[in-house]
């Protein structure tokens, strides 16, 4: 009886991928797209394209104010000492200048709305003197708040806003000669008693 040759277990195993057969060497369908979607920069690319399509629909924006300034004045706010030198408000209080401006505008709006309810008159009809009064009152509240924040935030006396303070509003607008900038002092807070330069 003729004996058939036996096959060792090692030879019975299928060839490793890419050696004898071409199955592993053959590129799989969709492999390129799969690698593209797994790339870490793909979400940024998709987000950038989506923002260009969505444009100014809230909550998305492509920030056009940096390239096309509006004709209406844009305001910004900062704090100075009694001599008019700007102070690093974030270092003193932890608040950014943008938050200072938002707080001032919020308090100012509260004053205007309260007066509208009291007088039954729209804020658009208020005189410049009335608006200036609300500006000053709101500014003084902001300065008091910043002083308290500086005292609570640090034990370092150099960070305490105990001297004279001013809240300054700056305005940028597009004029005939390009960008025009104006500034005005909204409110002044006197130095605390015992501070250098304070009035007796």
CA distance 57 to 44: 19
Alpha-carbon span 191 to 82, nearest angstrom: 8
Residue-wise pLDDT tens digits, 117-164: 999 999 889 999 999 999 999 999 999 999 999 999 888 999 999 999
Taking only the tens place, the pLDDT of each residue in 177-187 is 777 888 999 99
pLDDT attached to residue 200: 38
Q: What angle do CA 74, 109, 103 make, to 5 degrees?
A: 70
User: Which pLDDT score is estimated for 179?
Assistant: 77
Per-residue pLDDT tens for 49-84?
Answer: 877 776 655 555 555 555 555 566 678 899 999 999
Residues 1-45: tens digit of each pLDDT: 555 555 555 555 555 555 554 555 555 555 678 887 888 888 888
Residues 25, 18 contacting (CB under 8 angstroms): yes
**Cut 0.85: pTM above it:** no
Tokens read off for 152? 């609570």
Give the integer Cα–Cα distance in Å for 55 and 57: 6
pLDDT, tens digit (0-9, with 9 covering 90-100), for 88-116: 999 999 999 889 999 999 999 999 999 99
Task: Name the helix (H) or strand (E) containing 45.
Answer: helix 42-54
Q: What pLDDT is recorded for position 30?
A: 58
């Amino acid at each position: 009886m003729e004996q058939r040759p036996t096959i060792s277990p090692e030879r019975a195993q299928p060839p490793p991928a890419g050696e004898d057969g071409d199955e592993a060497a053959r590129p799989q369908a969709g492999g390129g797209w799969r690698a593209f979607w797994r790339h870490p920069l793909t979400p940024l690319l998709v987000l950038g394209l989506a923002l260009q399509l969505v444009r100014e629909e809230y909550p998305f924006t492509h920030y056009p104010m940096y390239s096309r300034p509006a004709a209406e004045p844009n305001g910004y706010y900062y704090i100075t000492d009694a001599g008019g030198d700007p102070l690093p408000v974030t270092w003193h209080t932890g608040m950014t200048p943008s938050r200072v401006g938002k707080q001032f505008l919020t308090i100012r709006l509260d004053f205007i709305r309260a007066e509208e309810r009291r007088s039954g008159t729209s804020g658009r009809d208020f005189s410049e003197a009335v608006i200036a009064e609300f500006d000053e009152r709101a500014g003084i509240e902001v300065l008091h708040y910043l002083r308290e924040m500086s005292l609570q935030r640090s034990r370092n006396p150099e960070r305490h806003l105990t001297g004279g303070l001013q809240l300054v509003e700056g305005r940028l607008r597009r004029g005939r000669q390009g960008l025009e900038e104006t500034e005005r002092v909204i409110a002044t807070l006197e130095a605390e008693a015992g501070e250098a330069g304070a009035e007796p």
